[in-house]
Amino acid sequence: MNISNPRIQLAFALLCTAIFTLFAGKADAQILNIERHRLKSDTVRFLMNARFGLNINNRSAAEDSPVNLFGVNSAANAIYKGDKHGYIFVGQTDYLAINDSEFLNFGFAHFRVNFFRDRKLNYEAFTQASYDNFRGLDPRILGGVGIRLRVVETEKSELILGLGGFYENERWQHPDNESTVEAEFVKVSAYASVRKDFNENLTFNAVLYYQGGYDAGIEDVRHRVSGNVNFNTKITKRLALNNSFEFGYEDKPIVPITKFIYALRTGVLISL
């Protein structure tokens, strides 16, 4: 195999970065699921986790075909459980560039307040800012309110249903030209969150979201569905296997982009 081939160098760099991102991010993947984190025991009032990763190299074999890689990934997650209310912050950024080409530039910050969190029927308010430059989104700003119903609550399982509404404003760049499209909606939001501890070694949690709003410009409703599924398997006291699957689907994107996106992550977590 000719390692000096620029295409091989590029593929190898992408592979190394994927492995680096996988192991750098797995420790926090479970916490990034808002529902999974806030359903933990109330014996802990404040929890916080932060991560930062940096990857820079120019390991090129050919002097006339350099491959310069630059990658940054970070996450900050915190939850505070007061006597009556709960406060949650989740943030994440991911950036990857090879030479002058950006392969990934994504980030978001989410803040949520859960009012009267111990009640079976409680309330929440939230706001979020996000961007996804590779897909042409910069930015998306939203804020809303909703209700949460704790349908099932046991030591090993829980089912939460949520319903609310929010205002969303977003700006997209068309993938085929330099034009931008701005859109704003009032949308309905619904979600279901499930947690199940099969035993002390195997846990499962999933959350499914639906968002929809009427767009007068196309005289139709735009639908968005997203979800997150996590399996966590404890192998030994210090070794665990983490698996997660995230996806998003929009039936009528604002600009012509891929309707269905997903991320499948698996890795080993070592606790020292």
The string of pLDDT tens digits covering residues 20-50 is 333 333 333 333 345 544 544 445 688 887 8
Terminal-to-terminal C-alpha distance of the chain: 39
H/E run at residue 208:
strand 202-215
User: Under a CB-based contact definition with an 8 Å cutoff, are residues 73 and 94 in contact?
Assistant: yes
| Helix, coil or strand: residue 119 | coil
- pTM over 0.95, yes/no: no
Average pLDDT for 3-12: 44
Q: Which two tokens stand for residue 183?
A: 């859109």
Q: Please give the Cα distance from 177 to 171 (Å, whole number).
A: 14
Q: How far is CA 119 from CA 147, 157, 196, 264, in A?
A: 11, 17, 21, 35
Position 148 scores a pLDDT of 94
Q: Please give the Cα distance from 86 to 170 (Å, whole number).
A: 28
Identify which of 143, 132, 200 has the alpha carbon closest to the alpha carbon of residue 168.
143
List the Cα angle 48/53/56 in 5-degree steps: 170
Residue entry with tokens 């080993």: 268
Residue 164 CA, chain-centre distance (Å), reads 20
Domain 6-270, CATH 2.60.40 — does that match? no
| 59-86 per-position pLDDT tens digit | 776 677 778 889 998 888 888 988 899 9
pLDDT at 187 over 90: yes
Position 44 scores a pLDDT of 65
Q: Please give the Cα distance from 68 to 63 (Å, whole number).
A: 12
